[in-house]
Amino acid sequence: MNLDLYFRPSVLSLTPYSSARDDFQGEASVFLDANENPYNSPYNRYPDPHHRKLRKRIAELKNVPPESIFLGNGSDEAIDLLIRATCEPGVHSVLAIDPTYGMYAVAAAVNNVRYTGVLLKEDFSLDREKLLGAVTSQTRLLFLCSPNNPTANSFDPADIAYLVRNFQGQGLVVLDEAYIDFSRYPGFLGRLQDFENLVILQTFSKAWGLAGVRLGMAFANPDIIKILYKIKYPYNINVLTQELVIDFLSKPYLKDQWVEMILSERTILAQRLAGLPFVKMVYPSDANFLLVQVDETEKIYNWLCGQSVIVRNRSNVNLCSGCLRITVGTPEENQKLLDALSYYKK
């Protein structure tokens, strides 16, 4: 893979910070190398900057080599690092679908990188030709999100593959699969080897129920992963997160049970919402949320807030006019939402 095509020269040539534990490989029993406090074990020790144990366990679960896995403080860290690794501020630009997850645009703005959103089609499918037509010689990244937030649909895998292939040699495609566990599609992890310029993002924040511990994953060609490890903060994943996630990885049945419950609740909630008089449309969902178009969106949103039920108002988002985004909760939470809506009077 010709990394010069994709990455900033300054990033490729930099020497990363070498942490105390980098210089020594093996089993030591006396640690006097990192100016740590010798008391208060295990929190006194810096975490493993390479996340070796955690990566090995994730590699087994996902059936991907550990060298193809980057771990970040949420997927948001990987999004920011990918922009910083590839785009010269004020020179290069990124492209994304519109509407989509808001952090791609924020991370681009923070890095002074131009961001262009390309509208999905009216049915929320990818507009392949419009996306490729928007690529310029300065475009370094293309963000896709499938299932997409907030539209809730997955894209046709053939469209995704077409875009990745056509962007090869020009830039990286970042395919955000945060909601893949709720999707009818298997996602692209099994096809990682087919595309040198594909980076897949996944997270422990959704299906695994671990949003509070902050752990995101990026999967890609090992050459790309090495660069992300080179530029991240050395100790980006703390000891508690690494240990807790290792523990959860031995109980994948929990995640499977949660996904099953959420999917069955999604079906019930969608049906019941569709029966309400002010609901115009419940869009098909491949994620753990529903996009729902209603009459008087603002008033319903405020009514729900007054009833202590918080949903997300997406009515100002392109293609989502009049829409609320509603996360699928527990049966009790969903019932409270439906009760609150049933009391709503125009």
Ligand X SMILES: Cc1ncc(COP(=O)(O)O)c(C=O)c1O
59 membership: H or E segment, kind and range: helix 52-62
Measured in whole angstroms, how far is the alpha carbon of residue 35 from the centre of its chain? Answer: 35
Among 86, 170, 205, 221, binds ligand X (CB under 6 A): 205
Does residue 219 contact residue 192 with C-beta atoms inside 8 Å? yes
Looking at residue 42, the DSSP 8-state letter turns out to be T
**β-bridge partners, 117:** 96
Q: Provide the minimum distance between the beta carbon of 291 and ligand X in the complex, in angstroms, as a whole number.
A: 13
CA distance 43 to 60: 27
Query: Does 240 engage in binding with ligand X (CB under 6 A)?
Result: no
Q: Provide the minimum distance between the beta carbon of 217 and ligand X in the complex, in angstroms, as a whole number.
A: 8
The stretch among 74-82, 218-226, 276-284, 307-315 that binds ligand X (CB under 6 A) is 74-82
Q: Provide the minimum distance between the beta carbon of 78 and ligand X in the complex, in angstroms, as a whole number.
A: 8
The stretch among 71-79, 83-91, 229-237, 247-255 that binds ligand X (CB under 6 A) is 71-79
- The CA-atom distances, in angstroms, between 37 and each of 17, 48, 82, 170, 289 are 21, 17, 34, 48, 45
Q: Provide the minimum distance between the beta carbon of 218 and ligand X in the complex, in angstroms, as a whole number.
A: 10
Query: Does 146 engage in binding with ligand X (CB under 6 A)?
Result: no
Closest CB to ligand X among residues 170, 288: 288
Closest CB to ligand X among residues 146, 170: 146
CA distance 92 to 222: 24
**β-bridge partners, 281:** 293
Q: Provide the minimum distance between the beta carbon of 20 and ligand X in the complex, in angstroms, as a whole number.
A: 28
Does residue 270 contact residue 292 with C-beta atoms inside 8 Å? no
The identity of residue 246, as a single letter, is I
- Residues in the interface with ligand X (CB under 6 A) total 12
* Interface positions, 101-140, toward ligand X (CB under 6 A): 101
For ligand X, the binding residues (CB under 6 A) are 74-76, 101, 145, 149, 176, 178, 203, 205, 211, 216
